[in-house]
Structure 1
Amino acid sequence: MTSPYDHPSDAPAPRTRRGLSRRAFGTATAATALAATATATAGSAGSAAHAAEPAERPFRALRGRHSRRPNILFILGDDLGWADLSCYGSPHIRTPHLDRLARQGVRFTQAYSGSATCSPTRFSLYTGRYPGRTRGGLAEPIADRTAGLDPAHPTLASLLRRAGYRTALIGKWHCGYLPDFSPLKSGWEEFFGNFGGALEYYSKLGLGGEYDLYEGDAAYKDLRYYTRVLTERAAAYVQRRHDRPWLLNLNYTTPHWPWIADGDTEASAEIVRRIKAGDRGALWHQDGGSVEKYTEMVEDLDRSIGRVLDALRRSGQEEDTLVLFASDNGGERFSYNWPLSGAKGSLQEGGIRVPTVLRWPARIGGRQVSGAPVFSPDWTATLLEVAGARPQPSHPLDGTSLAGHLLRGEDAPERPLFWRVRGERALRRGDWKYHRGKDGRDRLFHLASDQREQADRSAAEPALLAELRAHWERVDATLLPYPPGR
């Protein structure tokens, strides 16, 4: 029987059964893997790296384990595309550490970000709600100092902290600037990282030319390559002797532009020169980068995550730590998104479907693949449940907990997934997706047979189109409107 990793471009799972658990997942996963094998495309050439993996087998049941609340390590890549990992089909990028993480846990083939750009997705993850519930979430993404995550709003960190967790955020925050906004104001006890949406990897200069590396709310000078600095900090945190379970949000900026890899000091110096000369577009690096440079950055991200995971293993906490890896949105210029259409900024699949891997050795068996549609707010609800924390009734979650699906063999929750960005809308229900692009035209796609979104079924299914559009509009009516002119 073929391993699900031999053909990573998985089709959506059959509607009949999407249960996933330590006890009752073998049959469903084998069916999903066979469906994926039958529909894999030529874009899965990178799967050759997995040819030596063992064939599919029944998944082990993890019985009799203790019920200790897990540590939580949530690792977020920045602008990493759907198929930029070799376990998702990249033909040229090798990611052995993330591939191993996937083999040790669950790889999600229908996972989505909460929005199509950086800060709205982070809002959806930190709050468990649609970005449009909060004023800061209306910025797509945050680009000035007037918007941010309201410190009074409950967050994953504040709710876990109230439940007895230690909390830390290392890396990119991008949910507002000092003095009004900060991770330390929103539930994280420790913060080391950058506030803005991008920075030059060596100088730490941000989009406005400001220095943007902080420890807590104070500037911290370290001019080494940023991915390396974050990795050292994260490895030290997971090896620390904690008196309570902990949450670590590890938010890399890799592989976000500028296209600077470790050792590219000359390219770094040129971008710094342009920033200091007043070139506000220097960090966008429109005149630089390449597929080869992007590959170098993603492979370095993989090695860096491997170092953090190795530190976790050596600390003796691996068994009791839930590790979740995802990207904040779809890929950018040099990303590999095949067979999806669209990219970062779009509500087409390539802009919001992201690689997502979960591992929890104490509770969840390895070598599992889930085709359940999930998105960022679901992880907030899931992590709160497994940690024994409760959301505040005054701020109800829009995400749905996957704990029953992951731990008790229940079917995955079936409910519509909603997205809204300025000028664009989308709603997925089951295998159907309603999408209105910036051209104002409504389209309907059947993702199980057309994940590339090329066969518009709106004329053939007008009643279904109207039903999904009406549902989208009902949700939209409960959100804050966009400010005019922004």
Structure 2
Amino acid sequence: MKLSTYFTLLASLLIHFPAFGKNGGPNFIIIIGDDVGWDAFGCTGMKEAKTPAIDQLASESSMMTRFYCSVSQCAPLRAELYTGLLPKNNGVLANAVKEKRTGVRNVADHLIPLGYEVGLTGKRHFGLGSAKIDVIPGFSPNGNGSNQVHSFDGVENYVSQAKQKGNSFCVIIAATHAHHPWDHGKESNFPADNIRVRPHYLDTPTARQAMAKHAAEVEVLDRQVRETRELMKRMDLEKDTILIFLSEQGIAMPRGKWSPYEHGSRALCLAYWKGRILSRKTTALAMYCDVVPTLVDFAGGKDPGLDGKSLKELWTSKPVKSHRDEVLISNVHPFWQKAIVTDTYKLIWTGHPERNHVFSNFTSRNKFFSKPWAEWMDEAKTNETAARKVERILQPKPFELYDVVSDPYEINDLSSLPEHQKRIASLQTKLKKLMTDCGESTTPPGPEESKKKKDKANRRKPRRPSK
């Protein structure tokens, strides 16, 4: 081979193959929002959204619009994300319900032996595993505060140091938007008259105002996604870095976070790796616990044997393949609700639906929703449609069945229709098996346990609920 031909070939290889760390695996940057459901973006149909960076990323990514958390609360969602385990197996069942587990490993436990440095900036809400996840300065660690800041200087320094050592890295940017108090961004960018009120809400002035405030927070999150991509280009990371965006759980509104409904438990996942991950939209079912096995797979490690399943094949192979047959959603506190999601249907099981004290207490104490809720209750006194929506929130049926493909806001409960009774029975059996397989009880809590929770809730002074 001529020398000139050799150098031409070598140059071509250097251009087309990324300069990985010495372990040979790609870098990872994970951005996770806060209280943002799948439908809050232009790319998912919210026309009034101002999310150009996320929409652009979606057009270049493997876009997953049916990405679920097992529990739609911040602590259990992050435990699921960072361990690859379902709540009953990692011990974080709810923000306020934790059970001690031994042998739980976090994302750093899995990636450090593979030659990675693992760091997080922003909201933490997590403390499982033996390996320490490095704390990167720059983003506010608490989503409840008003004085939120974000700076990418710490991320840039962390990445630079990892590259200097020849190590691959996994950086988690845990944003605090759009968590209440919803006082960031420009609400004036979202006139209340232009806001699309979700069909399961009552269309009232304060509900529109709440949605406008939330949309302004999502716009701030979008800017952070844009800045992340600018950093990747500035540091020449695109060829050797996988960027994952996760919207987290739904908004703090009825049938949103804290619930198994689509508006609470369903998220958007975007996965981008230039030239490697296919750009396409898929409705394949996936879960937050799938992320850690996916990172390990891309990093060249062995299957860690977790509850999650690697998404690598789904993101990189043709044609589009299914990933999961069903998803288990498992809320235990403040309201015992379980659900199974399939390609088309969702069955929701509410234990003791007559005990609506938890939601009533929650809404009356939540200063961000108490005004809309008061309006809804007033309108329900004279408006039959409003009364049905309020009753649906306060008095769910023991079992609800929805076609979540044609009815993503779960308006039309199919559970009373004769033609769906066999389907309901089959889904009940599958749901209980999923619960049993991961060590959950298939018996709702009894009256005494429920009464203790009620008394504890009623003793609380009015305050904003923490996560």
Q: Secondary structure at the match of 2:341?
A: strand
Tell me the residue number matched to 2:287: 375
Query: Structure 1 regions of 5+ residues with no counterpart?
Result: 1-63, 176-180, 203-224, 265-285, 334-340
Match for residue 417 of structure 1 among 327, 334, 345: 327
Tell me the residue number matched to 1:237: 158
Deviation at 1:288, TM superposition (A): 13
Tell me the residue number matched to 2:116: 165
Q: Which amino acid aligns with 2:314?
A: H
TM-score (norm 2): 0.69
Q: Is the 8 A contact 2:63 2:271 kept in 1?
A: yes
Q: Is the 8 A contact 2:271 2:277 kept in 1?
A: no
After superposition, the C-alpha distances for 1:269-311 in whole angstroms (9 at most, x for unaligned) are: xxxxxxxxxxxxxxxxx99974443333221221122112111
**Cα distance change on mapping 1:171 and 1:148 into 2, 3 Å:** farther
Tell me the residue number matched to 2:274: 361
CA–CA separation in structure 2 for the residues paired with 1:313 and 1:448: 37
Tell me the residue number matched to 2:95: 141
Deviation at 1:373, TM superposition (A): 1.5
CA–CA separation in structure 1 for the residues paired with 2:184 and 2:140: 21
The reply on whether 1:92 has 2:4 as its aligned counterpart is no
The reply on whether 1:124 has 2:92 as its aligned counterpart is no
The reply on whether 1:460 has 2:369 as its aligned counterpart is no
The reply on whether 1:314 has 2:234 as its aligned counterpart is yes
**Cα distance change on mapping 1:200 and 1:263 into 2, 3 Å:** farther
**Cα distance change on mapping 1:351 and 1:288 into 2, 3 Å:** closer
Structure richer in helix, relative to its length:
2
Tell me the residue number matched to 1:401: 310
Structure label with greater radius of gyration: 2
Deviation at 1:78, TM superposition (A): 0.3
CA–CA separation in structure 1 for the residues paired with 2:143 and 2:100: 18
Tell me the residue number matched to 1:110: 66
Q: Which amino acid aligns with 1:443?
A: E
**Cα distance change on mapping 1:414 and 1:257 into 2, 3 Å:** closer
Q: Is the 8 A contact 2:71 2:265 kept in 1?
A: yes
Higher relative contact order (CA 8 A, sep 6+): 1
**Paired residues, number:** 357
Q: Which amino acid aligns with 1:415?
A: D
Q: Is the 8 A contact 2:105 2:128 kept in 1?
A: no
Deviation at 1:239, TM superposition (A): 4.7
Q: Which amino acid aligns with 2:42?
A: S
CA–CA separation in structure 1 for the residues paired with 2:31 and 2:100: 20
After superposition, the CA RMSD in angstroms is 3.2
Query: Structure 2 regions of 5+ residues with no counterpart?
Result: 1-15, 188-205, 354-395, 454-467
Q: Which amino acid aligns with 2:343?
A: G
Q: Which amino acid aligns with 1:470?
A: T
CA–CA separation in structure 2 for the residues paired with 1:453 and 1:263: 31
CA–CA separation in structure 2 for the residues paired with 1:372 and 1:112: 11
Deviation at 1:196, TM superposition (A): 7.3
Tell me the residue number matched to 1:302: 222
Tell me the residue number matched to 2:384: none
> 1:27-426 maps to which residues of 2 (within 5 A)?
68-135=24-91, 137-138=92-93, 140-142=94-96, 147=98, 152-175=103-126, 181=127, 185-192=130-137, 198-202=143-147, 225-226=148-149, 228-229=150-151, 231-242=152-163, 243-261=166-184, 290-333=210-253, 342-366=255-279, 368-390=280-302, 392=304, 396-409=305-318, 411-422=321-332, 423-426=336-339
Q: Secondary structure at the match of 1:307?
A: helix
After superposition, the C-alpha distances for 1:432-484 in whole angstroms (9 at most, x for unaligned) are: 22112344511222223332323333332222212211122122223356995
**Cα distance change on mapping 1:233 and 1:151 into 2, 3 Å:** farther
Deviation at 1:72, TM superposition (A): 0.7
Q: Which amino acid aligns with 2:400?
A: R
Q: Which amino acid aligns with 2:74?
A: C
Q: Is the 8 A contact 2:80 2:90 kept in 1?
A: no
Deviation at 1:190, TM superposition (A): 3.7
CA–CA separation in structure 1 for the residues paired with 2:137 and 2:103: 21
Match for residue 346 of structure 2 among 429, 433, 437: 433
TM-score (norm 1): 0.66
